Structure 1
Amino acid sequence: MSAVPVISLRPAKDADRDMILAWRNHDVVRKASFTTHVIAPHEHAAWWSRVSADDTRHVLVAHAGETPVGVVIFAERDGGADWSFYLDVDGLEARRALLPTWIATEVATLDHAFGPAGYRELRGEALAKNSAVIRLHERFGFTVTSEYQRDVDGEPETVQRYALTATSYRKEDPA
């Protein structure tokens, strides 16, 4: 397994749009998402246009050194943000770096959210069957706050909502 990389985050640019779509359309990412169909370029372009024009939405590209490895998306509300992220599964698997990059991206995201972004709370959702994601979030101090049912591909799925406050994250910080 590769060493845990240092991840930096930068605002996404228009030139990143197609790369982000390719990551989002990866089978592994789609299977863990609420929208599992292959997203067409015109759908992605419409989404990109909406988030680019919305001051409360932030799309950041995660980098390990000079290499883009994933995307982090924040939607601000109520002094905090809802967030999601996904990675360049094929590129990271080829480098045997998927798990360490996943962990490092979560650290970079939390440091950014509770540092420069100044959020008081970070919230997310995951399919309950995606236990690996939920366990990772719990290792960083997130707690499941509620569950609800949602249709995914016409089938009911349990979704878990989770959250972490800046205060709780700082208590977990070993520094």
Structure 2
Amino acid sequence: MTALHTVVLRDVVETDRQRLLDWRNGPEVAAFMYSDHQISPAEHDGWFGGMVGDGRRRYWVIEVDGQPVGLANLADIDRRNRRCAWAYYLASPSVRGLGVGSYIEFWVIEYVFKTLGFDKLWCEVLLSNDSVWKLHERYGFQREALFRHHVIKDGAPADVVGLGLLAEDWPAKRDQMVQRLTDKGYALPFT
């Protein structure tokens, strides 16, 4: 089967600066972030400039068919304890429902466990964002925490789900996820 779409994760570059600010301040992305405020250019420049040389985080722009559509990242990279957190968002509504999120999930898991050699990948998701935490669970992530009233969203307390996946648990899910992505027509990385 020929891939329906080509998905690439590439390093963030200077020309992404304004795009990332626009995406992050867009309502379709901000709705699922911890903070609700409009990020100022100065605040964004501080975040963007802080990426350079920060070994505790890594960012990639997600491209579909050559077009930038979202951002994926690793955070709290802890080489000593061989673990990190991760997150992603798709800013372009045109790619939602195409399996891009599933592809990104697979790519990040493989990168963390195979390339970095880490033992654990974890994430936090707003409880209300059930499509994302259910996707993580489909990939083998287990719910490790429920952080009650963890953040304020739209002026009200919101709960957050903490999920984790261990490298030792990934092989039990990997073949199923490979099949799922192959069935959707994606050529897989790291195979």
The TM-score with structure 2 as length reference comes to: 0.79
Q: How far has the Cα of 1:7 moved from its partner?
A: 2.2
The TM-score with structure 1 as length reference comes to: 0.86
CA RMSD, 1 decimal: 1.9
Q: How far has the Cα of 1:155 moved from its partner?
A: 2.2
Q: Contact 1:23 / 1:86 at 8 angstroms: preserved in 2?
A: no
* Match in the other structure for 1:146: 145
Q: Contact 1:6 / 1:104 at 8 angstroms: preserved in 2?
A: no
Name the count of aligned residue pairs. 168
Listed one character per residue, the Cα deviations across residues 113-144 of structure 1 (whole Å, up to 9, x for unaligned) are 22223322111101111111111111111111
Pairing 1:11-160 to 2, within 5 Å after superposition: 11-75=11-75, 76-77=77-78, 78-90=81-93, 93=94, 97-100=95-98, 101-148=100-147, 149-153=149-153, 154-160=155-161
Between the aligned residues of both structures, percent identity stands at: 27
Gaps of 5+ in 1: none
Instruction: Give the distance between the partners of 2:151 and 2:174, measured in 1 at CA.
Output: 37
Question: More deviation in 25-34 or 4-13?
Answer: 4-13
Q: How far has the Cα of 1:82 moved from its partner?
A: 0.8
Question: More deviation in 112-121 or 70-79?
Answer: 112-121
Letter in 2 for 1:85: Y
Letter in 2 for 1:163: G
Instruction: Give the distance between the partners of 1:63 and 1:19, measured in 2 at CA.
Output: 13
Question: More deviation in 128-137 or 165-174?
Answer: 165-174
Instruction: Give the distance between the partners of 2:173 and 2:65, measured in 1 at CA.
Output: 26
Gaps of 5+ in 2: 179-191
